[in-house]
Amino acid sequence: MSRIEVVVRSESLSLDEAQRFCADVAHGAFASFVGNVRDRNLGRDVVAVSYDVFEPLALKRLRTICEETRDAHGPSVHLFVSHRKGRVAVGEASVVIGVSTPHRAESFAACRAVIEALKHEAPIWKQEHYVDGESEWVKGHSLCQHAEK
Amino acid sequence: MDEVVRLRLQLFGALRDHGSEVELVVPRGADTAAVRGALAEALAIDPALLAISALANDDEVLDESATFECDGVLAVLPPVCGG
């Protein structure tokens, strides 16, 4: 039976937590994705990123993404998704995804599906903070039905 | 029966540059376009950004055809970029 856990938190994220949640002796594969804040974007030196989250809907949408991924990649898949909120320094993880399945192909595919959907569908925003003291909201993907995708 | 409804709009992402929330009074039965228009007028928000910002409640992104018949709380969601 599939297990799903989605978390949004201000504290550091843990890949170990994802692996522990997904542990299953029937699963021979565990795939993960860790997104880290990098020190440069579009030619500007970044010191940190602040994540803004509409938490009630983000948790629901992330769970739905996981359920859709389970439906597409097998009923026994375990999925763990954690995302930071608030200010995250360069080098720290902003998102951790863990997926386990009986075989590796499903784990790789499901992990990729979750991060791509998260980036396009979860109500989360990031504001980059630069070395020169300026800050800027990063452009993203519209959730409007009428917007050009 | 009031002919208007009061909507408390929570702002996220780039819209936070205009504050974290705002209360609007709109005609009962106003649609999403009318709410966007009232918001643009109240806070001088870039209309191009508002045009691609969705309205939502705690459970779902609202359909563009949604109308507002009673007081409530909404979220205004500019384009997203998590991860």
Domain boundaries, chain A: 3-136
Kindly state the percentage of chain A with pLDDT values over 90. 95
Distance CA A43, CA A1 (A): 46
Q: How far out from the chain centre does Cα A60 lie?
A: 14
Question: By C-alpha distance, which of A74, A63, A75 is closest to A117?
Answer: A63
Q: What would the pLDDT profile of A21-44 be if each residue is shown by its tens digit?
A: 999 999 999 999 999 999 999 999
Chain B interface disruption, residue of A7, A135, A137, most B CBs within 10 A = A137
Mean pLDDT, residues B4-10: 98
The secondary structure of residue B31, as a DSSP letter, is E
What's the pLDDT score for residue A126?
98
Checking if the pLDDT of A51 tops 70, the result is yes
Q: Is B26's Cβ below 8 Å from some Cβ in A?
A: no
Domain spans in chain B, listed from the N-terminal domain onward: 4-77
Residue B1: pLDDT above 70?
no
- Chain B CB contacts of A58 below 8 Å: 82
CA nearest neighbour of A53 among A97, A89, A114, A10: A10
Mean pLDDT of chain A: 97
pTM of the model: 0.95
Tell me what percent of the residues of chain B surpass a pLDDT of 90. Answer: 94
In this prediction, residues A60-79 reach a mean pLDDT of: 97
The shortest CB-CB distance from B82 to any of A118, A127, A147 is to A118
By C-alpha distance, which of A4, A2, A6, A3 is closest to A96?
A6
The least confident of A69-73, A87-91, B41-45, B68-72 is: B41-45
Please check the confidence at residue A148 and state whether its pLDDT lies above 70. no
Helix (H, G, I), strand (E, B) or coil at A21: helix
A57/B75 touch (CB, cutoff 8 Å), yes or no: yes
Of the two residues A145 and A73, the one the predictor is more confident about is A73
Q: Locate the chain A residue with the closest alpha carbon to B20.
A: A52
Q: What confidence tens digit (pLDDT) does each residue in B8-19 have?
A: 999 999 999 999
Q: Mind listing the pLDDT tens digit for each residue in A127-136?
A: 999 999 999 9
DSSP character at residue B1: -
Instruction: Write the CATH number of the domain with boundaries A3-136.
Output: 3.90.1170.40
Does the pLDDT value for residue B79 go beyond 60? yes
pLDDT, greater one: B2 or A56:
A56
- Cβ atoms A11, A83 nearer than 8 A: no
Please state which CATH number belongs to domain B4-77: 3.10.20.30
Q: What is the pLDDT of residue A146?
A: 79
What is the pLDDT, as a whole number, of residue B4?
A: 97
Is the Cβ pair A141, B75 closer than 8 Å? no
Contacts for A66-71 with beta carbons within 8 Å, 24 or more apart? A66/A4, A66/A6, A66/A114, A67/A4, A68/A117, A69/A99, A69/A110, A69/A113, A69/A114, A69/A117, A70/A2, A70/A4, A70/A110
| Chain B closest-CA separation from residue A4 CA (Å) | 18
- In tens, the pLDDT along A77-113 reads 999 999 999 999 999 999 999 999 999 999 999 999 9
